[in-house]
Amino acid sequence: MTTLKWWQTAVFYQIYPRSFADGNGDGIGDFKGIISKLEYLSDLGIDAIWLSPHFPSPNWDWGYDISDYQNVAPEYGTLDDFKTLLNESHKRGLRVILDLVLNHTSDQHPWFIESKSSRENPKADWYVWFDAPPNNWQSCFDGDAWTYVPERGQYYYHYFMKQQPDLNWHNPEVKQAMWDVVRFWLDLGVDGFRLDAIGTIFEDANLVPHTVPMNLAELRRARELAKTPAEKEQVEKYWHDMFKHQWGQPGVHDLMKELRAVLNEYDGDRMLVGEDDDIAYLGDGEDELNLVFNFPLMRTQRLTADHIRRNQKERLTQLEALPVKGWACNTLGNHDSSRVYSRYGDGIHDAELARLSLALMLTLKGTPFLYNGEEIGMSDYIITDPTKLRDTMATWYYERLVNELKVGPAEAALRAGEMTRDKNRTPMHWSSAPNGGFCPTNVAPWLPVNPNYSDGINVADQRDNPTSLLNYYGRLLHLRKETPALIEGDYIPLHKTSREYFSFLRKTKSQAILVVLNFSDGRTELDFSRVKEIKGKTIRVLFSSDERILAGENPRKLRIGAYEVFIAEVK
Ligand code: NOJ
């Protein structure tokens, strides 16, 4: 019997509600749509859902600008519909965590409307106000971080868009109001939260200006134009220096401890996962967050054996060093990043590489987070017409490119299309029907559907095809569930200098699982007979992405195919 908590054994699946399933035929995903797909998720082998923001929002940042924290967006349904979604999920053994945005609200939130109305109102100090911009700080979304409000004759601070004013977390009333929000959803029975942008909650108290000789738009452009490694390094340093006074400031750990204490008032091991890779957010291992994402793993152009090995060594060593050992959490994609299929593809072996990426997620030590659509191989869909962009950050950048940086409209459209997050948020493909079965034929979906839904990149076609990515995914998910070492086993890297393939063991007292992921197009023959955990034992194949007889193999001469995912038990 495992002593692990549910969030350590679970596989999480991120639902971007606007694009997941449209239940009422208006071109926008909703609760009814999600409810109709719960069976799909539990059959697939998913254990928990992370629901991206479902709150009322003016949608400047598609839900990450919240105007009411204790309600639901009307386009998604009613609060009762949400309760149904929660109950129906729980009935199927699916946990549900919500997105909690602490750093900022919408500028349409009643708190901000009140705060900006005068310098004397009861919420006057709920946001960060100054008579004049105290420095040159930038917002990471739309240029200047300070925006003027005539009613107060003052400027407010926003790390993200001007429609997302930062809350003043030094004010205890803000904290109380937000902990009430947290209790509201915990009382309804949600299983935890994914914490948005916790790193940016506090700013440098001395308001030290940045020293980068550019503004945000210029820096973005420099990033695009950087060619040599030295240029790239310089741009990344600038990026870091531009924002370093606006995140990672002291105080946030005490705050996370308080939040943990709120969750601990509830039964059921409610959990917190932070949108940050800093292991310091786990506190002593049990007094802050339960998980932080292993973002460094995904910050690479290519997933190589070397990169993964270095990443695992670093992360797992840090987690082990905590007073109460921390638990790993891996992901390769979300609503902010290019889709796995596109990002780690090479344009020729994309399908094979996608299978390797998914296998990596499900075999590494730690809780995996998958992003909706990954399971059918959805890829980025670049919007080339800037008038069709829905991501305000990209529209802003397009306009700056054309108007300030004098970049031609065609190139600007291309750059905006590449940098926008729209490309990885397009609607889910449920079938080969028009609009990918996401919404009715005669209805325009909120974002264009990637036309490749008609080439087999859809759930219905793949469900009927035993060799599809979807069925591959399902098999791997079920294998993981039935194989304790894949969930709780230690990670032991093997063949530590191999470049083409990545091999490792997952080992508990009673089970040892060998995983080989061949990231190259070459077949190879591997010798594991000198590995102490394998020496003198046999290898019984459990899973392979190749057509291979599931039988015993010789550890001295293990043949691995090009791009093969190979999983076996060592006995
Ligand atoms: C991180 C979220 O993942 C992203 O989508 C959002 O735009 C920002 N935080 C601001 O809330």
Rounded mean pLDDT, 160-176: 98
The matching CATH number, chosen from 2.60.40.10, 2.60.40.1180, 2.40.10.170, 3.40.718.10, for 489-570 is: 2.60.40.1180
Tens of pLDDT, residue by residue over 35-51, are 999 999 999 999 999 99
Segments in 27-78 forming alpha helices (H):
31-36, 38-44
Tens of pLDDT, residue by residue over 537-546, are 999 999 999 9
SS3 content of the chain, % helix, strand, coil (to 5): 35, 15, 45
d(CA 558, ligand 1 centre) in Å: 45
Q: At residue 1, does pLDDT exceed 70? A: no
CA of 101, closest atom in ligand 1: 11
Q: Reduced to 3 states, what is the DSSP secondary structure of residue 84?
A: helix
CATH superfamily, region 6-102+172-203+245-380+455-472: Glycosidases (3.20.20.80)
d(CA 194, ligand 1 centre) in Å: 11
479: region left, alpha or beta (phi > 0 left; psi from -120 to 50 alpha): alpha
Q: Which of 196, 275, 553, 564 is catalytic?
A: 196
Residue 133 pLDDT grade (very low, low, confident, very high; cuts 50, 70, 90): very high
Measure the CA angle with vertex 214, ends 199 and 252; round to 5°: 10
Nearest residue (by CA) to ligand 1, atom 6, is 64
Look up tokens 């955990």; give the residue.
533
How many whole angstroms separate alpha carbon 418 and alpha carbon 401? 13
Query: For a pocket test of ligand 1, which of 51, 64, 164, 397 has the largest count of ligand atoms closer than 8 A to its C-beta?
Result: 64
Same fold, 110-157 and 489-570: no
Tens of pLDDT, residue by residue over 235-291, are 999 999 999 999 999 899 999 999 999 999 999 999 999 999 999 999 999 999 999
Residue 432, burial from CB neighbour count under 10 angstroms (0-12, 13-18, 19+): middle
Total residue count of the chain as it appears in this document: 571
Q: In what order do the strands lie in the sheet with 512-518?
A: 490-494, 501-507, 512-518, 565-570, 539-544, 552-553
Query: Is 3.90.400.10 the CATH classification of the domain at 110-157?
Result: yes
Which residues share a beta bridge with 184? none
- Strand segments, DSSP code E, in 415-480 are none
Two structure tokens written together for 226: 């950087």
Nearest residue (by CA) to ligand 1, atom 5, is 336
Name the nearest CA neighbour of 429 among 373, 355, 358. 373
Domain layout of the chain by residue ranges? 6-102+172-203+245-380+455-472, 110-157, 489-570
% of the chain beyond a pLDDT of 70: 100
* H helix or E strand, kind and range, residue 371: strand 367-371
Q: What is the pLDDT of residue 251?
A: 94
How many whole angstroms separate alpha carbon 495 and alpha carbon 306? 11
Q: How far is CA 246 from the centre of its chain?
A: 22
Query: For a pocket test of ligand 1, which of 15, 196, 247 has the largest count of ligand atoms closer than 8 A to its C-beta?
Result: 196
How many whole angstroms separate alpha carbon 419 and alpha carbon 417? 6
Per the annotation, the verdict on 231 as an active-site residue is no
Rounded mean pLDDT, 137-141: 97
d(CA 338, ligand 1 centre) in Å: 14
Q: What is the pLDDT of residue 551?
A: 73
101 Cβ inside 6 Å of ligand 1: yes
Average pLDDT of every residue of the chain? 97
Q: What is the pLDDT of residue 553?
A: 80
Tens of pLDDT, residue by residue over 444-496, are 999 999 999 999 999 999 999 999 999 999 999 999 999 999 999 999 999 99
Tens of pLDDT, residue by residue over 71-121, are 999 999 999 999 999 999 999 999 999 999 999 999 999 999 999 999 999
pTM of the model: 0.98
Name the residue type at position 36.
Answer: S
Cβ atoms of 517 and 501 within 8 Å: the answer is: yes
Cβ atoms of 30 and 19 within 8 Å: the answer is: no
Per the annotation, the verdict on 196 as an active-site residue is yes
Q: What is the pLDDT of residue 2?
A: 72
Could you give the C-alpha distances from 364 to 243, 474, 483, in angstroms and in order? 32, 17, 13
How many whole angstroms separate alpha carbon 294 and alpha carbon 571? 31
Q: Which of 265, 284, 320, 411 is catalytic?
A: 265
